[in-house]
Chains A and B, each alone.
Chain A
Amino acid sequence: MNEFKGSQSYVADPELLQAVNVAMVLQKPLLIKGEPGTGKTMLAEAVAAALDKKLMIWNIKSTTKAQDGLYVYDVVQRLYDSQFGGQGVDDIEKYVKLGKLGEAFSADEQVILLIDEIDKADLEFPNDLLWELDRMEFYIPETGRTVTARHRPIVIITSNAEKELPDAFLRRCVFHYIDFPDKELMAEIVRVHFPDLDRRLLDQVLEAFYRIRQLPQVKKKPSTSEIIDWIQALIHGGVDPSRVVKEVPYLGVLLKKNEDMDAMRRVWR
């Protein structure tokens, strides 16, 4: 049996690991929510690497339609070909191109399909995929072909909670909310990125970081990717660890809004 236990480059808490494994055993899509920067997208990469499977990413945009993930029937090309006497115009199959979901279904081996930021799309989008994700098959009326998954893909879906997802869709998913990592877990995550980081610098960075996050005045809280960038900047600038908490150098890497910077400067002693 496949089991995901975290990986070299991805530190996950046990609850998340369990959710991943539950989803794999029960063959249900895993829905991951969480603050930006808690590594939702990274998770799929880590699972793929750990299980040594191919990862397919379907990035959802506001204009994405469920149909795009299944297949696209390129009528325009066919029209062109028919007018200029191209070969094989009769063969509709030639003009049907599978989308990401279709590709994942027809892959020769089990793959991991990441449906990234599903909430970006229209409200009805998840509903349009219910049948396909449930039965792992879809029908192409133009050619009369049914595409069935040869190996049921492991589906990981991420959401930033911009829109609420429909109940019928949620019912079919395993859900996990990624908490913002606590100090210990964060230290572990940082160590994965910077294996030989100076212990003193790490302590100071974490101290300053969590204090900033706790300031109620700061509206856009810095996240994991920001702390990584910040450490990079601190190392690059050769900042003395003792200055980190007191002066918070390179603040612009952590806080991206003017109001936040001003607010933080006001209250920081």
Chain B
Amino acid sequence: MFADFLYLLRGSGLKVSLTEWMALMEALDKNLHRASFSGFYQLCRCLLVKSEADYDRFDRCFLEYFKDVPFQQEVSQELMDWLNRPDVLNDYARWDEEQALKNMGLSEEEIQRMLQERMQEQNEEHNGGNYWVGTHGMSVFGNSGLSPKGIRVGGESRYHRAFRVAGERNYRDFRRDNTLDTRQLQVALRKLRQFSGLVDLPPTEFDVDRTIQDTADQGGMLTVRYKRPRENTVKVLLLMDSGGSMDYYAQLCSALFQAVSKSGHFKDLKVFYFHNCVYGRLYRDPLLLSRDSVTTQWVLSNLPGDWKLILVGDAQMAPYELRGGYYGSSDPDGPKNGMDYLLRLRDRYRNSIWLNPSPRPTWGPYWSQTYDEIARVFPMFPLSVEGIEEGMKKLLSR
């Protein structure tokens, strides 16, 4: 009937499966939408969407697919509801059939344009009319109004029209590709775990249940059983860019830092800071004080290759900061420039990613050059919930 809608939803990244779609068909068959359009919208949403993070995406698809559905049926349905509710009868008295039909004939764009014109003309408060922006009227603008179609201007939505509810996009903030707070980050970081049960570790933990079970099976003869300890074996090395162009993302980076250090489920965690690119020294403090630093070589030789490396930075610098010999090591066999250091890190740590709070610069090749070069060395992910989830997968792959 409207199977295209399923494909539209799937195409937009919502993981709607056939099970859910069939459930929707069954629900429609049982008239759970109560023959109303709003009911249909709610029904679709509660069956097809499984996270408030996806509400916004769903709303947009719904708008796109059903925007041409005429409103008539729904109005009559709602009129019935109004007649049953004494508290809106007063409002209903102002219902203007002619105006309603006129409003219904307007397209979204027309209404949009009219609103802009009206905003320029209007300079006082209007309630109950059918022309100005105001409340309780028949105008296509304002709130608590009766017009079957229109734009809500302020206030809480009262007569929930499916379109407007979807159009309000109340759930925009829940979208997953938004930048994030600590809590969301922590959830994303939890994906980064590898239980020793899965890794080959000797069974060292006393297994009470199986000991008792087997002892009982043996007729009371003590049979001791051990199991593998179940703990996270992931060790994380976090290197963060500090200062300069990263100041814009300070809040985001500190959220990431807090999430990583608070999550506490890693077996070991080391955090170091650098400026622009990794050179000879790594700093324990974002202020980059040299008395509180270690050499990059120390890190490379002391932290073995099974550590997971996460680099955070905007990867945007002057090309000489990445390629220039000025930052190289004094040792003739040592790394010659920033890029060399990065390559050594990558070669040492099999699982490494780069998280970037900034999108790829689009204005000029000067800044995007280093961005692209680094992205060729490290798999680069945006510093958002989705990006981190993808990154964690990369870190866990073997």
Contact = CB atoms under 8 A, between A and B. Distances in A.
Interface of A: 14-15, 18-19, 21-22, 25-26, 28, 31, 33, 75-76, 78-79, 82-83, 123, 161-165, 167, 170-177, 179, 182-184
Interface in B12-66: 15, 17, 19-20, 23, 26-27, 30, 32, 39, 42-43, 46-47, 49-52, 55
B187 A175 contact: no
Interface size bracket, B side = 20 to 34
A173 B48 CA distance: 9
Interface stretch (B199-207, B213-221, B256-264): B213-221
B97 interface: no
Interface of B: 15, 17, 19-20, 23, 26-27, 30, 32, 39, 42-43, 46-47, 49-52, 55, 156, 170-171, 187, 190, 209, 212-213, 215-216, 220
Contacts of B209: 75
Contact of A19 (B19, B46, B212): B46
A176 B32 contact: no
A26 B215 contact: no
Contacts of B216: 75, 78-79, 82
A39 B19 CA distance: 29
A174 B47 contact: yes
A82 B220 contact: yes
Contacts of B190: 123, 163
Given A163-B190, A164-B187, A182-B156, A22 B50 contact: no
A167 B213 contact: no
A173 B156 CA distance: 30
Contacts of B220: 79, 82-83
Given A76-B212, A83-B220, A26 B52 contact: no
Nearest to B220: A83
Contact of A22 (B43, B51, B52, B212): B43
Contacts of B187: 161-164
A245 to B, nearest CB: 20
Contacts, number: 76
Contacts of A76: 212
25 contacts: A18-B32, A18-B39, A18-B42, A18-B46, A19-B42, A22-B43, A25-B27, A25-B32, A26-B23, A26-B27, A26-B30, A26-B32, A31-B50, A79-B215, A83-B220, A165-B50, A167-B50, A171-B17, A173-B50, A175-B46, A175-B50, A175-B51, A177-B55, A179-B170, A184-B156
Q: Is the interface of B mostly helix, strand, loop or mixed?
A: helix
A33 B212 contact: no
Contacts of A179: 170
Contacts of A21: 32
Given A22-B47, A26-B30, A33-B52, 15 more contacts: A18-B39, A18-B43, A21-B32, A22-B43, A25-B27, A26-B27, A82-B216, A123-B190, A163-B190, A164-B187, A165-B50, A167-B50, A170-B51, A174-B47, A175-B47
Residue of B32, B50, B171, B190 most packed against chain A (CB within 10 A)? B50
A174 B156 CA distance: 27
Contacts of B20: 171
Contact of B213 (A15, A75, A165, A175): A75
A22 B27 contact: yes
Given A25-B32, A26-B26, A163-B187, A183 B156 contact: yes
A33 B50 CA distance: 10
B39 to A, nearest CB: 7
Given A171-B19, A179-B170, A22 B46 contact: yes
Nearest to B184: A161
B153 to A, nearest CB: 17
Contacts of A167: 15, 50
Which residue, of A176, A182, A184, has the highest number of chain B Cβ atoms within 10 A? A176
A134 to B, nearest CB: 10
B45 to A, nearest CB: 8
Nearest to A33: B52
Given A22-B27, A22-B46, A82-B220, A172 B19 contact: yes
B354 to A, nearest CB: 24
B210 to A, nearest CB: 10
Contact of A75 (B46, B51, B52, B212): B212
B387 to A, nearest CB: 16
A65 to B, nearest CB: 11
Contacts of A162: 187
Nearest to B47: A174
